[in-house]
Amino acid sequence: MPGRPSNVATVPPRPITIAYLFTTFPQATETFLQREVIAMKEQGLNLRVYSLFGGGGDFAGIAVRKFSMWRLLELIWIIPWVAATRWDVFGVLWRGLWARRAPSWLNFWENMLGAGFAGVFYREFRRDPPDLVHGAWGGAPCTAAWILRRLNGQAFTAAAHAYDIYEHGGDWWLDEKLTEARFIHTSTEMGRASLVARGHDPQRVHVVRRGLAHFPEFKSLRADRSELRLVCIARLVAKKGLDHQMKIYAAMRDASIAFSARIIGEGPERARIETLIREFKLGDRVRLTGHLAQAEVWENLTWADALLHTGVIAASGDRDGLPNVIPEAMAAGVVVLTSPNAATVEAVSHDVSGLVLPEGQPDRWVEAMRRLATDDTQVETLRDAARRWTEENFDAHRNAARLHEHFLNALKS
C-alpha cells in the first residue's frame, strides 16, 4: 500500500573491485603511488594490489601480492597452450616481437614480465574477475592488463608517466596497449599533449594530478637569510641535471654568496656527483645525504629557504614530469627555483609562484639567489602564490575524487 514501509531490506551496492598492477609496490621513491592507493581505498574501492617485481607485504591494511618469479616456470606449458588455442592473442604478441625492436633491453624485459604475469594469472582473474584492471605504469603493469583483456575480455585502464612516454622514445608497445584502455591517466598537461600527439583520443586521456593528503604548516619566512639554506631532493640520475647544479653552487661561492646545500637522494650518478663536488671544491658547502625517510625529507624542507631543480632532458629522452617535491616544497613555504624543462613550469610560473631559470646560465641563478637573500617582499609574494597553487591543484582528496569518477565512468562505457 502507498505509504506503508517496505519489509524488503535494501542491499547496499557492492564496492567496485579494481586490480591495481604495479611494477614494484610499495617503492620508497614512489610516494605518489602510495598516496594514490590510500586515496582510492578512502574512496570506497575494494583494491587487489599486485607487485610484479619485488615489493609485497602489507600496505595501509591492504595485502600486496608479490609475483613470485618461480611461477614464470609455468609458462613452459602455458605459452604452447595459448599459441595453440588462442592465436588471436598469441599472434598479436608474436607479431609485436618482430615488428620493431624494443627501445632497450630493460624495456624488453619489463614487457616480458608483464606478459608472463598475465599468462600465469589469467585463469585466476577469470575465476574471480575484478571490475577493472588498472596498470599503474605504462610498462610491465600495462602489458599485463592489456593481455588480460585480450585473454579474458576484462576492461582495463592505464596510467602513463613521463618515463613511459619519453624514455628511449617511449615504452615498446605503449600505443598498442593504450589504444585498448578505457581511459589513460597522466598527471601533467605535458604528458597529455604528448599522448594526444601520438594519436590517442583526447577524450580518453585525463590529467589528474597527484597531491598531498595533509598540507604542511606554512612556515614563516626566515628573517636572517644571509646564509641561504638550499635543498635539492632528487634521484641521482642524468635527467636531474646535477652537473649544472654543481656549477651554480660554484658560481655562488665565487660571487661570495654564503650558502649551505643538501642534496637528498640516491642513485647511479652518486660517484660522478661526488667527483664534481671535489673538483669544484664544494665539500664545505654541499652535502649528499643519501636516501632519507619521508619524515626526514619534511624536516629538511622546514630547514630550507629554497629548493633547486635543475632537470634536463637526458640523452635517453627521459625527463621529469612534475616531481612531487616541487609542489610539496611550494606548500611548505620553500621557494622553488627550477629549470624550464618538462612539466615543472605547470606549477612554477616565473616571478609568480617561483623562479624559472635556464640551467646552463649560472649567473642568472646567482642573481636570483641575491634577491632571495634580501628581498622579503618578493619572496613572500612568491611563497603565497605557490601555496595557493598547491591548494587549488595538489589536494589529494579532490584529485582522488576525480580519478575515482573516471574509474566509475570507465565501468559505464
**Calpha distance 176→169 (Å, rounded):** 15
pLDDT band at 8 (very low <50, low <70, confident <90, very high): very low
Domain boundaries, the chain: 17-211+395-412, 228-393
Report pLDDT digits (tens) over 336-348. Answer: 999 998 899 999 9
H or E element in which residue 26 lies: none
395 pLDDT more than 80:
yes
**Calpha distance 262→247 (Å, rounded):** 15
Residue spans of alpha helices (H) in 63-203: 75-85, 87-99, 105-127, 140-152, 162-166, 174-179, 189-197
Average pLDDT, stretch 169-175? 93
**How much is the pLDDT for 10?**
45
259 pLDDT more than 80:
yes
**How much is the pLDDT for 5?**
40
pLDDT band at 97 (very low <50, low <70, confident <90, very high): confident
**How much is the pLDDT for 98?**
80
Report pLDDT digits (tens) over 318-327. Answer: 899 999 999 9
Average pLDDT, stretch 149-178? 94
**How much is the pLDDT for 83?**
81
Average pLDDT, stretch 295-323? 95
**How much is the pLDDT for 4?**
42
pLDDT band at 76 (very low <50, low <70, confident <90, very high): confident
| Domains 17-211+395-412 and 228-393 in one fold | yes
14 pLDDT more than 80:
no
Report pLDDT digits (tens) over 362-382. Answer: 999 999 999 999 999 999 999
Which has the minimum average pLDDT: 14-18, 142-146, 191-195, 244-248? Answer: 14-18
3 pLDDT more than 50:
no
CATH number of 228-393: 3.40.50.2000
Output the average pLDDT for the chain.
Answer: 92
Say if pTM beats, i.e. exceeds, 0.75.
yes
Q: Please, what CATH class does the domain formed by 17-211+395-412 belong to? A: alpha beta
Structure-model confidence comparison of residues 341 and 262, the more confident one: 262
Collapsing DSSP to helix, strand or coil, 243 comes out as helix
pLDDT band at 7 (very low <50, low <70, confident <90, very high): very low
- Euclidean distance between the first and the last CA atom of the chain, given in angstroms as a whole number: 38
2 pLDDT more than 70:
no
What's the grid cell of residue 369? 639567489
Q: pLDDT > 70: what percent of the chain?
A: 97
**Residues near 371 by beta carbon (within 8 Å), at least 6 away in sequence:** 378, 379
Q: Are 320 and 327 in contact (CB under 8 A)?
A: no
329 pLDDT more than 80:
yes
Report pLDDT digits (tens) over 117-145. Answer: 999 999 999 999 999 999 999 999 999 99
pLDDT band at 1 (very low <50, low <70, confident <90, very high): very low
Structure letter (DSSP) for residue 250: H
85 pLDDT more than 50:
yes
**How much is the pLDDT for 13?**
67
Collapsing DSSP to helix, strand or coil, 91 comes out as helix
> C-alpha distances in angstroms, 409 versus 33, 71, 270, 406, 412?
21, 34, 45, 5, 5
- Side chain identity at residue 37, one-letter code: V
**How much is the pLDDT for 11?**
42
**How much is the pLDDT for 173?**
92
**How much is the pLDDT for 88?**
82
pLDDT band at 12 (very low <50, low <70, confident <90, very high): very low
Report pLDDT digits (tens) over 186-210. Answer: 999 999 999 999 999 999 999 999 9
